[in-house]
Amino acid sequence: MYELPLKMKKSFSKAKKLIESAEDIKIYSHNDCDGISAGAILSTILDRQEKDHEIEIVSLDKLEDLEIEHELTLFSDLGSGQNIDKLAKDSSKIVVLDHHPPLRDLNYKNTIDHEYLEINPLHYGIDGSYYVSGGGLSYFLAKEFGYTDLSWIGVLAAVGDMQNSSTGKLEGLNSIILKDSIDLGYIHSINDLSLYGRQTRPLFVALSYFSDVNLPITNNRTESIALMKDLGIPRKVGDRSRTLSDLDNVEKGKLFSELVRMLSREVPKRYTKYVPKLVAADSYEFMMEEDHTFLRDASEFSTAMNACTRNNREDIALKILKGDRTSALDELEIISKDHRRYLAQNIHKIEEEDMIKNLDNIQYFDGDGIRSQVVGTIAGMILSHGDWRKPMIGFTQISDEDDNLKVSLRCSRLLAYDGIHFGNIIRKVAQSVGGSGGGHSVACGAYIPLNKKEEFLSTFNNQLTGVL
């Protein structure tokens, strides 16, 4: 069983004391599921401590010239990789809870006049891509206060951050958070097929979206229905289409064997040992949510939270996570539907207009007009329309006020099994063209000057020569 390193635990204890002694507090958190979950946990801590506070959900490009105006500023799921404190006052107190690669070492606090506490797993030899998320770090702070009932949000954060993408289960410090939540009866963990939409998506639809590797069923509902028929798996129960959660273990076993067979035929031999991990993984059900709703399953819940942050409705996500659901659930349904429609329209456009371009080692598309908040999601969803052996990169304008470029990269999990960390590569390449970037092995991004796109592409492509 994993344990929190003693030095790390002492840092959380110090962060707790900083909160208890502060009266003027601001939270900055990242605009994705992990960030919104981390922010919700911190905000709940402050609510329970009866501390007035502000919370702001931001993108990474907003941090470089941040005015530090509050007595205590908390950064969650961001801050380690950005120069967040260059405008801090001598009286400022700053706490960073982040799991991304840090710019500063542990001795940094001794070189400055303001109070600075950074809690990052990488300082303790713990991989922040798979073993703890930003929301997980916020949860460990909540645990210092005795608020273990927030553990389910820590699990949601980890799933939303794809912390389970390597082995199909939550490991490392995440396993502590998961155990806390299971022990409290909030979560049920089940090993299941890796099909998105366990609770709500008709099985034949879920099958058509399975895998980055192109299979006969990929983007083909007719073939998916035929596969179910061949395996003797009924499509409906009464008038309702069956979902993965309706299947019994015998049916799941048949599907598992067939999906492993199909995938193994399509990938190079060196990858076949990883195929079972792509087909089955642990799934997490929130026991306090209704069956057959998208909040019951952690993956679907995390998508809904991302839909809020991608559509500038962080307020709805925070209400849902903090338990204020009366009107928020109806609004969440509308946001999710609009989000799905927007994604589908843009994916259709990319496919119809043949927008995916190929270089030797990468594939990319110009997402002109696509909102910067969703270009990464779209890059991930069109992997199956391209070549899974290469990472997919999407470009789009940062915002109406800023015509520089947001760059988002997604890749097949199979490439991560080769040990490639695209987050580290994209940071290096972005910095070489005057930008900034970072992230995880299979999902990362950057911000670069508008006129540096071609140089970025050329440099990135060259970086991968002999690596892929």
pLDDT, one tens digit per residue, over 384-405 is 889 999 999 999 999 888 889 9
Q: Say which residue the tokens 């192109």 belong to.
A: 214
Residues 6+ apart with CB under 8 A from 228: 203, 204, 207, 234, 235
The answer for residues whose C-beta is within 8 angstroms of residue 6's C-beta and 6 or more apart is none
Dist. CA 178–CA 284, nearest whole Å: 9
* Average pLDDT over every residue of 406-412: 95
pLDDT of residue 212: 86
In the block, tokens 């400055």 appear at 112
pLDDT grade for 327, boundaries at 50, 70 and 90: confident
pLDDT, tens digit, 9 for 90 and up, residues 41-69: 999 999 999 999 999 999 888 887 788 99
Structural element, H or E, at residue 29: strand 25-30
Banded pLDDT at 326 (limits 50, 70, 90): confident
Sheet holding 53-58, edge to edge: 53-58, 25-30, 72-76, 93-97, 115-119
pTM above 0.85, yes or no: yes
**H or E element: which one contains 365?**
strand 363-366
Contact (CB, 8 A) for 379 and 409? yes
pLDDT digits (tens, 9 = 90+) for 198-218: 999 999 999 999 988 999 999
Asked if pLDDT for residue 416 goes beyond 90, the answer is no
- Using alpha carbons, list the distances in angstroms from residue 104 to 85, 117, 437, 444: 11, 11, 16, 20
Q: Which long-range contacts (CB under 8 A, 24 or more apart) does 432-441 make?
A: 432/459, 433/459, 435/404, 435/407, 436/60, 436/61, 436/64, 436/81, 436/82, 437/407, 438/81, 438/100, 438/101, 439/100, 439/409, 440/129, 440/161, 440/162, 441/129, 441/416
Q: Which residue has the higher pLDDT, 61 or 359?
A: 359
pLDDT greater than 90 at residue 6: yes
Cα gap 17→439, rounded to integer Å:
30
Provide the pLDDT confidence category of residue 325 given band limits of 50, 70 and 90. confident
Q: What is the mean pLDDT of the chain?
A: 94
What sign for the dihedral angle of Cα 362, 437, 131, 339? negative
For residue 329, is pLDDT > 80?
yes
Size of the chain, expressed as the number of residues it contains:
468
Q: Provide, rounded to the nearest whole percent, the portion of the chain with pLDDT above 70.
A: 100
Give the range among 18-22, 248-252, 376-380, 436-440 with minimum mean pLDDT.
436-440
pLDDT digits (tens, 9 = 90+) for 224-274: 999 999 999 999 999 999 999 999 999 999 999 999 999 999 999 999 999
The confidence band for 422, taking pLDDT boundaries of 50, 70 and 90, is very high
Q: Which DSSP string do the residues of 108-175 spell out, in sequence order?
A: GGGGSSSEEEEE-GGGGT--TTTS--HHHHHHHHHHHTT-GGGHHHHHHHHHHTTTTTTTSS--THHH
The pLDDT, as a whole number, for residue 62 is 86
